[in-house]
Structure 1
């Protein structure tokens, strides 16, 4: 089968190769991939910035397709089913935090950027019928991350004022859509006017250009402060988030793409009763609740662009450049 594998000796760091399929383990299923989506962790692997990298590994965490084979311990009733894959591995039994064995499909195990992928049978769920293959592939990793950050860690309530930073990336896109459908008043931040306009078209009340030195004052004037902020950047922008969150409000971080914050205004945190929480991908419970939320509200993920598997380098380069509005999808 054709697959996108890591090969750090090459200029592009990835290549399309033919990979031999082995036999299925008893509790595994084989999924014929109809569509797979990129995540930043795939690009970080290409840059060599992710742990446990090994050349020859098939990249990709997100995917949807048809079950084409089942192991001896799996019901044959799954054969031919249209499914979506939960990329979270070995979360454990504690909803509060992942186990020491936690992992994500794609690194260091073979992932979804291939014609077929073998996964444990408990990692598949029936694909939401209202989603196309491309939309379904876009959902899993970013969807579960956004859902957990908003609802479990953030405790989102309807009518709250919410700020989603970095709109345009997958998690921020889903967090914006989920919060809007939950009845929150949502604003976004982005350095792109077009991305802000896209968020408004989805139902956001407005947006702020975080490169504008006056964006904090604009945000205060429009919102009078946010009850909840969902952020994946951290870095120098952290200080501004503390200025726009309401007293008693919460900031949830699911990433730190711009690095660690430089210093902490502890006085502002304790005086304003601010809660700061970390969040990651979620548990099996989070994934099931996220799928139910998407089904009930008939939510459609925003797909940026679809590439064929052979165009993987172009797809990765688009993510590297940060040009995407929504999820980048590949089809075998």
Structure 2
């Protein structure tokens, strides 16, 4: 079978062994996969590794074979893959042994994958294959940041930096469904218009003074994934005693924080990453209940996957990028 791998400092498509299910494993014939920013960073994290690793964390497809200890799934079932490995119940932080699919385990940028049946969920029937293939990682990350960590409530106001990311598009939809007011930012006027169409109540350019623009607003929750470039500006729009959730740092990791202002403001700062199987299932129930459709920016074939990587690295996308594997 064909797979997109990182091997000996190179990214390439190559023939890989067809997987065979063991015991509790299932072989899924993948229809689509989702590209995540994590996939851009893995080659740098694997410097010096010569053995091939299939990249990719998100995916959806059809069960092809099941191991002799599997009783919940059978050939023909349509499924999505949970990329959060070995994290079952909701907890304050991931348990020991937690990993994300796609490193060190083989991922989803291939025609087939063998994976433990515990990592599979039924594909929501209202989703296309492209939508199902990009759902799990970003949807789960956004749901945990917004609901589990952010504790969003009906009538509250949420401020989200980086309107065009896959996670942000999920958060906008989830928050609106839960009755929150949504404010988003971007340096792209086009992405702000797209966020408005998705349901954002207020859109702000990165070039304006956010504090002045929101002088008449009360922001209860900030969700930031940009890092140093926006952290302090985001904190300044948050009400005293408000909550700030950070799930990423696409700019520099290190920030400057005035501790005296922080503790006098009684702010709550929370870290978040991915989520448990319990939260994934809650997120899936939400998207079925509210008929949520993931925003798919574009779809690339496996043979053109490098163009998908380039598109994501240039930060041109609004929503998710899908990879067609059939």
Query: Fold match, TM over 0.5?
Result: yes
1:45 aligned to 2:42? yes
CA distance in 1, matches of 2:203, 2:51: 41
The equivalences for 1:248-267 within 5 A come to 248-267=241-260
Q: 1:23 aligns with which of 20, 25, 40?
A: 20
1:171 aligned to 2:167? yes
C-alpha deviation, 1:25, in angstroms = 1.1
TM-score (norm 2): 0.95
Residues 135 and 120 of structure 1: CA distance in aligned 2, closer, same or farther (over 3 Å): same
Displaced runs of 4+ in structure 1, greater than 3 A?
A: 49-55
C-alpha deviation, 1:51, in angstroms = 8.5
1:58–1:106 CA contact under 8 A, matched in 2: yes
Q: 1:284 aligns with which of 273, 277, 280?
A: 277
CA distance in 2, matches of 1:196, 1:242: 21
2:34–2:322 CA contact under 8 A, matched in 1: yes
C-alpha deviation, 1:39, in angstroms = 0.4
C-alpha deviation, 1:93, in angstroms = 4.8
C-alpha deviation, 1:214, in angstroms = 2.0
C-alpha deviation, 1:37, in angstroms = 0.6
Q: 1:33 aligns with which of 30, 39, 64?
A: 30
1:69 aligned to 2:96? no
Aligned twin of 2:3: 3
Q: 2:212 aligns with which of 211, 217, 232?
A: 217
Q: 2:134 aligns with which of 126, 131, 138?
A: 138
Q: Unaligned regions of 5+ residues in structure 2, if any?
A: none
Aligned twin of 2:106: 110
User: RMSD of aligned C-alpha atoms?
Assistant: 1.7
1:70–1:76 CA contact under 8 A, matched in 2: no
CA distance in 2, matches of 1:148, 1:125: 18
Q: Unaligned regions of 5+ residues in structure 1, if any?
A: none
Aligned twin of 2:146: 150
Determine helix, strand or coil for the equivalent of 2:53.
coil
Residues 52 and 34 of structure 1: CA distance in aligned 2, closer, same or farther (over 3 Å): farther
CA distance in 2, matches of 1:270, 1:258: 25
C-alpha deviation, 1:261, in angstroms = 4.1
CA distance in 2, matches of 1:238, 1:50: 29
Q: 2:184 aligns with which of 181, 188, 210?
A: 188
C-alpha deviation, 1:106, in angstroms = 0.7
Q: Please, which moves more after superposition, 31-40 or 14-23?
A: 14-23
1:237–1:261 CA contact under 8 A, matched in 2: no
C-alpha deviation, 1:96, in angstroms = 1.4
CA distance in 2, matches of 1:229, 1:174: 15
CA distance in 2, matches of 1:324, 1:54: 31
Q: Please, which moves more after superposition, 298-307 or 87-96?
A: 87-96
C-alpha deviation, 1:201, in angstroms = 0.5
Aligned twin of 1:239: 232
Residues 50 and 294 of structure 1: CA distance in aligned 2, closer, same or farther (over 3 Å): farther
Determine helix, strand or coil for the equivalent of 1:163.
strand
C-alpha deviation, 1:209, in angstroms = 1.4
Write out per-residue CA displacement over residues 124-160 of structure 1, whole angstroms, 9 at most, x where no aligned residue.
Answer: 1110000000001111000000000000000010111
Residues 20 and 81 of structure 1: CA distance in aligned 2, closer, same or farther (over 3 Å): same
Aligned twin of 1:229: 222
Write out per-residue CA displacement over residues 33-57 of structure 1, whole angstroms, 9 at most, x where no aligned residue.
Answer: 01001001101113x1468966410
1:5–1:56 CA contact under 8 A, matched in 2: yes
